[in-house]
Amino acid sequence: MRPVPPPKTYRVKSFGCQMNVYDGERMGELLDQQGIKPAAEGEDADLVVLNTCHIREKAAEKVYSDIGRLAKHGDPIIAVAGCVAQAEGEEIMRRAPAVSMVVGPQAYHNLPDMLDAAISGKRATDTDMPVIAKFGALPKRRKSAPSAFLTIQEGCDKFCTYCVVPYTRGAEISRPFDDLVTEARLLIDGGAREITLLGQNVSAWSGVDDVGRSVGLAGLVRALAKLDGLGRLRYMTSHPADMDDALIAAHGELPELMPFLHLPVQSGSDRVLKAMNRSHSADSYLKLLDRFRAARPDLAISGDFIVGFPGETNAEFEETLQLVDAVGYAQAYTFKYSPRPGTPAATMDDQVAGEVMDERLQRLQAAINRDQHAFNTASAGKICDVLIERKGKHDGQWLGKSPWLQSVWIDTAPGSEMALGDLVSVTLQDAGPKSLRGVMRETIPA
């Protein structure tokens, strides 16, 4: 490669899960520290980081087409980061000469050094997976959105047979308690009112608290809930096998812990769950939710589903619909099974035909949409706080989230004061399939 001038502007494009959004923000902070500025919207950047996701579909193919488009348009320095980088780093270097850097999710703290190499004309790959060296090497956090992410745990030891995460993100690692309290404090000081604790399996987090006790996620949540200025706490994603009584109790006791639980189930069929290596049954999942709901009756439940896992019969898919009926989800993510190279399910017999998956996905989505709308309808008339996160399309309109993670829009009267990060008390009204209106309480006639 030929030497290039140091970049003045950068853009990080993150795909996939919230973990990638968090990683993307941290890479941005690293580049800020190098004196490189984020490119303005619509402007070509001198350096583009494609922060990729490998969990489903032909993600790798999409990366190659993005690289092709960038090379033709603006010809920036290109870095490929994230899970496709981890899984296919060497192949990317071989197939895509326009790429200068390939950096895995555990190595992106080395981005500045790799960039120096790229500027001097050398291509660099770093897909090492050292134990948590990255976090210590990242710059301190300075500014934050009203709702911020905090990665507390990375990797997964569960080895669900369809999933590539244990291979791309590696073994479960928990970040130390003290580091997390410090980072949470910085996020709050930088403007965050809400923190969502992130990890592939946050319920497996463990650590030692400030007085030397071994604690799990519940202990961490309790400590963070005490931080001055923090209004709300959330966490995702959890695995049903790791949810303990202490966490359930925390949901009943801590007003800061929002009444929302994202707990993927994947299927309602015990045979399919076993083939997925999920270690829970449909019934044990429902019983677990009952315990959470006993502690926090208004809990909103969210989930992940895969349709068309190899060998899934019509009758087994019907069991998934029955489970959906039994839970009454407030929202959920639905996916068609996608074979991931190197995972056990990719070579299983009886891969399900595309049309069959399409039809099942449609039926499942219809059931989830129905329940989401019903959940929103049942929320109408409730009084709650909304965390203001964005301005709406119209003058005086603001957008935010309810405690149950519903999108809420609020119209304010001219001259009324409202700012990002405010927690505003509203009455929920006009429930739609995907959002509700919030009416500010002081504007409601008595």
Residues that bind ligand SF4 (CB under 6 A): 156, 158-160, 163, 165-166, 200-201, 239
- CB of 338: closest distance to ligand 5AD in angstroms? 4
* x-marked contacts with ligand 5AD along 128-147 as a string, rule CB under 6 A: --------------------
Whose CB is nearest to ligand 5AD? 304
- CB of 202: closest distance to ligand 5AD in angstroms? 13
- CB of 346: closest distance to ligand 5AD in angstroms? 8
Of 56 and 370, nearer to ligand SF4 (C-beta) is 56
Q: Binding residues for ligand 5AD, how many (CB under 6 A)?
A: 12
338 contacts ligand 5AD (rule: CB under 6 A): yes
Of 188 and 361, nearer to ligand 5AD (C-beta) is 361
Of 110 and 200, nearer to ligand SF4 (C-beta) is 200
d(Cα 310, Cα 340) in Å, to the nearest integer?
12
What residues are designated binding site for [4Fe-4S] cluster?
17, 53, 83, 156, 160, 163
**Considering CB distances under 5 to 8 angstroms, the limit depending on partner class, which of ligand SF4, ligand 5AD, none binds residue 153?**
none
- CB of 379: closest distance to ligand SF4 in angstroms? 29
304 contacts ligand 5AD (rule: CB under 6 A): yes
Helix or strand or coil: residue 30?
helix
251 contacts ligand 5AD (rule: CB under 6 A): no
DSSP of 307-355: E--TT--HHHHHHHHHHHHHH--SEEEEEE----TTSGGGG-S-PPPHH
Nearest to residue 78, comparing CAs of 104, 45, 106, 54?
45
* CA atoms within 13 A of residue 335's CA, in its CB half-sphere: 19
DSSP of 228-263: TT--EEEEE---GGG--HHHHHHHHH-TTB-SEEE-
Point out which span in 95-103, 227-235, 337-345, 407-415 binds ligand 5AD (CB under 6 A): 337-345
d(Cα 89, Cα 91) in Å, to the nearest integer?
5
d(Cα 206, Cα 191) in Å, to the nearest integer?
27
Binding to ligand 5AD (CB under 6 A) within 265-294 occurs at 266
Q: Which of 55, 107, 180, 220 binds ligand 5AD (CB under 6 A)?
A: 55
- CB of 153: closest distance to ligand SF4 in angstroms? 11
**Considering CB distances under 5 to 8 angstroms, the limit depending on partner class, which of ligand 5AD, ligand SF4, none binds residue 166?**
ligand SF4
For residue 400, give both structure tokens: 């935010």
H helix intervals, 8-125? 18-33, 59-72, 82-95, 111-119
d(Cα 280, Cα 39) in Å, to the nearest integer?
46
Of 11 and 175, nearer to ligand SF4 (C-beta) is 175
* CA atoms within 13 A of residue 294's CA, in its CB half-sphere: 10
Cα 172 versus chain centre, distance: 17
**Considering CB distances under 5 to 8 angstroms, the limit depending on partner class, which of ligand SF4, ligand 5AD, none binds residue 327?**
none
What residues are designated binding site?
17, 53, 83, 156, 160, 163
Q: Which of 22, 205, 292, 337 binds ligand 5AD (CB under 6 A)?
A: 337
- CB of 335: closest distance to ligand 5AD in angstroms? 4
3-state secondary structure 358-415: HHHHHHHHHHHHHHHHHHHHHHCCCEEEEEEEEECCCCCEEEEECCCCCEEEEECCCC
Q: Which of 329, 335, 375, 409 binds ligand 5AD (CB under 6 A)?
A: 335
379 contacts ligand 5AD (rule: CB under 6 A): no
* Helix pair 59-72, 82-95: axis angle to 10 deg: 60
Nearest to residue 5, comparing CAs of 110, 79, 103, 77?
77
332 contacts ligand 5AD (rule: CB under 6 A): no
Alpha-carbon torsion angle 212, 214, 218, 224, nearest 10: 30
- DSSP bridge partners of 409: 399, 437
Cα separation values, 239 from 95, 300, 413, 429, Å: 37, 17, 44, 33
Q: Which of 39, 163, 276, 426 binds ligand 5AD (CB under 6 A)?
A: 163
Nearest to residue 306, comparing CAs of 347, 348, 360, 260?
360
**Considering CB distances under 5 to 8 angstroms, the limit depending on partner class, which of ligand SF4, ligand 5AD, none binds residue 79?**
none
Contact residues: ligand 5AD, CB under 6 A: 55-56, 162-163, 264, 266, 304, 306, 335, 337-338, 340
